[in-house]
Structure 1
Amino acid sequence: MHTLAVYLREARAQVLATWRTPQFMVPSVILPLLFYGVMGLGLSKGREEIAHMMLANYVIFAAIAPAMFGFGAGVAAEREAKLVELKQIAPLPAGGYLTGRLATALALIAAAIALLGGLAYIGGVRMEPGQWAATLGLGLGSTIPFALIGLNLGLRMGSQGATALANLVFLGFSLFGGLWIPLQAMPAWFGKIAVFMPSYHLGQLSQMFSGMQPFADVERHVAILAAMTLAALIGAVMAWRRQDA
């Protein structure tokens, strides 16, 4: 029970620290909302099916930035400031620091996804309660693979390098994953790159859960996502242990 209380306090401290940093918090929450308002609702011109389809994409998009920058650029900056080393020698359970980071990312992403859902509903998107829950829940669950990928950057690179690469990965996941523009409207070679993007597979599942696509190849999408997540987890564990050495 004491260990759980320490985890909760560390998570609370990191969440509060982030929410008191508007230069990170506001873009993480507002950017997906602005994109969806302009591209999902503005360009749909009242066509519910387009707004519906774009919502399924943007709940995944909303998970990328907080996870990539919170775990990528954020961890790298704290490594350079020796704050990670301080956490490691402090009387904090193993994983407490990363649990706090994850809680922070989840809080930001949950806020962004809730606002997206509200805006979509106001814009005329209608789904069954189960579809709403599955679509928004998948967006929240997308935090895990993106956070692990970001953590690999944060533990292996300096602050400037991690920030630059996190930006590049963020753009790549969004564009090549088909989250901004449907892959059907892009050159054929985009589709060949998309299969290597976790954002693509999550976006496909989100389209199915929201009712915009029939359920097909679910096992393949899940298996590829599981393999990518496992690979990112192994890489992050190896990089974390190297910090201890």
Structure 2
Amino acid sequence: MHTLAVYAREARAQIVSTWRTPQFLIPSLALPLLFYGVIGLGLSKGREEIAHVMLANYVIFAAIAPAMFGFGAAVAAEREAKLIELKQIAPLPAGGYLAGRLVAALALVATAIGLLGVLAWFGGVVMVPWRWAATLGLGLASAIPFALIGLNIGLRLGSQGATAVANLLFLSFCLFGGLWVPLDLMPGWIVKLAELTPSYHLGRLSMMLSGMTPMADVQRHVMVLAAISLAAVAGTWAAWRRQAA
């Protein structure tokens, strides 16, 4: 079978598996919508700017949980069940399992972000088409660094440890990224710590692309995100090779 067809079948299998796991699927879709509906739209009471700012933050928030838990806790559980070892000895191209997992996560994140966009549009958020596309597109792309971080967790820890660490990082990324509480309201040391997280830089870029803040330091944000992603790729590859040994 052609290599591309094998990748496509593995991706399809991972997507079907994800959509048949309601205990993971429903919270991943419902939490961003619930938070945004209550905080972004409900508490803003018609103030479009607040709803607009919250949308820029929540498209990043929507990507964190599926990526962290779909790759962290889920991969750790499959590794403990020896399913990953089975994938590694099966006639599957190197990286086929990981690519399939990533496609499944992106499909879930795309659904969550699409629903957020619809909710924001009906809630009165107004942007020109290219800003809608850029903001929602960044939210989708933001799943990649979080997924790579989650993979490092899933390939290195047991299922219980991976779940605990994924929860800790999920909360930390949301808090230190300024996705829940504006960093202007926090102590200076938290702001300095926040700059080490991908959620902070993605949040800043999302605010710029949505038109809520001027374009500034874009290159720095992109370079930090690239460095974090490359480090996560290296860690993932090393963990995968050790798993296969």
Instruction: Give the TM-score normalised by structure 2.
Output: 0.98
Shift of 1:87: 0.4
Report the equivalent of 1:2: 2
Across the aligned residues of Structure 1 and Structure 2, the Cα RMSD in angstroms comes to 0.8
Residue 109 of structure 1 aligns with an amino acid whose one-letter code is: V
1:155-166 equivalent positions in 2, closer than 5 A: 155-166=155-166
Report the equivalent of 1:137: 137
Give me the whole-angstrom Cα distance separating, in 2, the residues matched to 1:138 and 1:85.
34
Shift of 1:135: 0.2
Give me the whole-angstrom Cα distance separating, in 2, the residues matched to 1:189 and 1:39.
26
Shift of 1:39: 1.2
Residue 194 of structure 2 aligns with an amino acid whose one-letter code is: A
Give me the whole-angstrom Cα distance separating, in 1, the residues matched to 2:76 and 2:240.
12
Shift of 1:47: 0.5
Residue 2 of structure 1 aligns with an amino acid whose one-letter code is: H
Report the equivalent of 1:38: 38
Residue 133 of structure 2 aligns with an amino acid whose one-letter code is: A
Deviations, residues 129-171 of structure 1 (Å, cap 9, x unaligned)? 0000000000000011000000000000000000000000000
Deviations, residues 149-196 of structure 1 (Å, cap 9, x unaligned)? 000000000000000000000000001110011111223322111101
Report the equivalent of 1:84: 84
Deviations, residues 27-77 of structure 1 (Å, cap 9, x unaligned)? 011111101111111111110000000100000000000000011001000
1:113-132 equivalent positions in 2, closer than 5 A: 113-132=113-132
Determine helix, strand or coil for the equivalent of 2:72.
helix
Give me the whole-angstrom Cα distance separating, in 2, the residues matched to 1:157 and 1:91.
26
Report the equivalent of 1:69: 69
- Deviating beyond 4 angstroms after TM superposition, the runs of 4 or more aligned structure 1 residues are none
Give me the whole-angstrom Cα distance separating, in 2, the residues matched to 1:22 and 1:159.
19
Give me the whole-angstrom Cα distance separating, in 2, the residues matched to 1:18 and 1:220.
35
Give me the whole-angstrom Cα distance separating, in 1, the residues matched to 2:34 and 2:47.
18
Give me the whole-angstrom Cα distance separating, in 2, the residues matched to 1:42 and 1:223.
36
Q: Which runs of 5+ in 2 are unaligned?
A: none
Report the equivalent of 2:213: 213
Give me the whole-angstrom Cα distance separating, in 1, the residues matched to 2:228 and 2:21.
31
Report the equivalent of 1:238: 238
Residue 33 of structure 2 aligns with an amino acid whose one-letter code is: L
Report the equivalent of 2:147: 147
Determine helix, strand or coil for the equivalent of 1:235.
helix
Asked whether 1:223 is paired with 2:226, we answer no
Report the equivalent of 1:22: 22
Give me the whole-angstrom Cα distance separating, in 2, the residues matched to 1:40 and 1:192.
26
Asked whether 1:172 is paired with 2:197, we answer no
Give me the whole-angstrom Cα distance separating, in 1, the residues matched to 2:20 and 2:92.
23
Shift of 1:103: 1.0
Shift of 1:102: 0.5
Residue 52 of structure 1 aligns with an amino acid whose one-letter code is: H
Report the equivalent of 1:110: 110
Asked whether 1:204 is paired with 2:208, we answer no
Give me the whole-angstrom Cα distance separating, in 2, the residues matched to 1:73 and 1:126.
37
Give me the whole-angstrom Cα distance separating, in 2, the residues matched to 1:227 and 1:66.
22
Instruction: Give the TM-score normalised by structure 1.
Output: 0.98
Give me the whole-angstrom Cα distance separating, in 2, the residues matched to 1:19 and 1:185.
39
